[in-house]
Amino acid sequence: MSIIVNLDVVMAKRKVSLNGLSEKIDITPANLSILKTGKAKAIRFSTLEALCKELDCQPGDILAFENES
């Protein structure tokens, strides 16, 4: 089982930069980059909520499940 992070796709569609988004949701650019590249092991609901509010999207736009079997 694998969780796919599509944050980079959502950001590109909305033409939002990493630094601009990190400032707006009060997260470091380094931590946002870890999320964006899919290297994160977890995400706080408060961070997910802030991303969804700022990017005007749903959690399912950012995260997806892919069965690896």
5 phi/psi in degrees, rounded to 5: -105, 120
Q: Domain of 60?
A: 2-66
pLDDT at 1 over 70: no
Euclidean distance between CA atoms 43 and 62, whole angstroms: 11
Report the pLDDT value the prediction gives residue 19, as an integer from 0 to 100: 97
Q: The pTM is what? A: 0.91
CATH of the domain at 24: 1.10.260.40
Confidence class for position 68, pLDDT limits 50, 70, 90: confident
pLDDT at 47 over 60: yes
Give the three-class secondary structure for 19: helix
pLDDT at 53 over 90: yes
* Counted domains in the chain: 1
